[in-house]
């Protein structure tokens, strides 16, 4: 898989332009509050950079990167409801790449997650997808597991309608306001949402209510320890406020889930795009690695695949999977 398959450059450029415009419009002025670390709750942080008028700090204890001081949650709610960039992602960007993502992301994702469940002896009879989007994951899970009871939680009316068109059971709501499903699911999944939320620990605690004792939670999100984020840093298109505001480290993930009461915490970084993302960036900005001959040699086309495999196997990719058990 290549970056262009799921994030075409022209679409990403437009999305970045709209995000920068929205940042100025929705977050102009207003109160902002400094945060404790999103991973380990430490108060020891160091300023790193400003992007789109948003400051980012690094935790001196666990190495997580996050946006702080942070605007009030009401500003983010208005942004996600009415911003041009959010509409562009839902109405233009994702529909164009949806089938490519089905083949290259969602089908392999289902198989890999099934294997992880087998490894921990988890029988998934009831599954909830929080932030289900277009319902592609649940649609593909059903192909291989037709007897699983599936539930999509999706606050967007248009996306909830897409789930319903796929004959999925839907709760059209933000997860914080979902009733009637406490201790329900064997497995609760949430893909690419944690990097957006205002309070990661509060969000994980809300998800915990949906999991039965002895069940599991699964999260996929961005990891600041990953190669492309470490190399590109503030220049990375993945650091895109006000959308992406939380970047946990491996140590930060472990602290977060321990604070939420989970055990048997498994953290992997099965990402496939780190090297390709950096290669694509330096095509337009060759000076980035001008003084780093060693990294340039590692991402040479003859070594790129082997190096990406090394990153995946050593938890050094920027795409992380976390699976953890709710105590009995």
* 226 and 36 Cβ atoms separated by less than 8 Å: no
CA separation (Å) from 176 to 13, 98, 146, 172, 183? 32, 27, 28, 12, 14
User: What mean pLDDT is predicted for residues 116-132?
Assistant: 97
pLDDT over 70, % of the chain: 100
DSSP summary character for residue 3: H
DSSP summary character for residue 239: -
Residues in the chain: 328
Strands of the chain, DSSP E: 32-33, 45-51, 54-59, 65-67, 70-71, 126-130, 149-153, 170-171, 185-191, 211-222, 246-247, 263-268, 319-325
**Nearest partner of 92 among 163, 19, 15, judged by Cα:** 15
The per-type count for the chain, helices as H runs and strands as E runs, is 14, 13
Q: Report the CATH architecture of 3-325.
A: 3-Layer(aba) Sandwich (3.40)
Q: Can you give the pLDDT at residue 78?
A: 85
Domain borders along the chain are: 3-325
Pairing outcome for strands 45-51 and 54-59: antiparallel
pLDDT tens figures, 204-243: 999 999 999 999 999 999 999 999 999 999 999 999 899 9
CA angle 145, 147, 152 (to 5 degrees): 80
Mean pLDDT, the chain, integer: 93
* 319 and 226 Cβ atoms separated by less than 8 Å: yes
pLDDT tens figures, 257-293: 999 999 999 999 999 999 999 999 988 888 888 888 8
Q: Can you give the pLDDT at residue 40?
A: 98
Distance, CA of 139 to CA of 121 (rounded, Å): 23
**Nearest partner of 260 among 186, 209, 304, 314, judged by Cα:** 209
């Amino acid at each position: 898989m290549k970056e262009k398959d799921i994030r075409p450059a022209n679409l990403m450029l437009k999305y970045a332009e709209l995000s920068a415009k929205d940042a100025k419009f929705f977050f102009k002025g207003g109160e902002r509050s400094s945060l404790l670390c999103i991973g380990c709750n430490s108060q020891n942080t160091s300023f790193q950079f400003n992007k789109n008028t948003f400051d980012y700090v690094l935790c001196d204890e666990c190495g997580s990167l996050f946006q702080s001081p942070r605007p009030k949650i009401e500003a983010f709610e208005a942004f996600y409801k009415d911003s041009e960039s959010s509409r562009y992602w839902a109405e233009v960007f994702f529909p164009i790449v949806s089938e490519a993502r089905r083949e290259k992301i969602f089908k392999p994702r289902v198989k890999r997650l099934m294997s992880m469940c087998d490894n921990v002896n988890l029988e998934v009879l009831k599954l909830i997808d929080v932030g289900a989007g277009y319902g592609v994951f649940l649609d593909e899970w059903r192909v291989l597991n037709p007897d699983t009871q599936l539930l999509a939680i999706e606050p967007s009316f248009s996306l909830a309608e897409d789930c319903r068109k796929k004959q999925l059971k839907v709760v059209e709501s933000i997860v914080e306001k979902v009733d009637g499903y406490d201790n329900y699911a064997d497995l609760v999944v949430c893909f690419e949402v944690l990097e957006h939320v205002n309070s990661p620990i509060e969000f994980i605690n809300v998800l915990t209510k949906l999991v039965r004792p002895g069940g599991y939670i699964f999260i996929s999100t961005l990891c600041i320890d990953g190669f492309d984020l470490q190399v590109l840093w503030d220049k990375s298109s993945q650091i895109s406020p006000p959308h992406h505001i939380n970047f946990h480290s491996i140590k930060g993930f472990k602290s977060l889930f321990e604070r939420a009461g989970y055990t048997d915490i498994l953290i992997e970084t099965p990402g496939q795009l780190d090297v390709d993302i950096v290669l694509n960036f330096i095509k337009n900005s060759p000076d980035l690695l001008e003084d780093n001959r060693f990294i340039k040699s590692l991402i040479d086309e003859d070594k790129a695949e082997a190096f990406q495999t090394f990153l995946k196997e050593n938890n050094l990719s920027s795409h992380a999977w976390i699976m953890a058990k709710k105590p009995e």
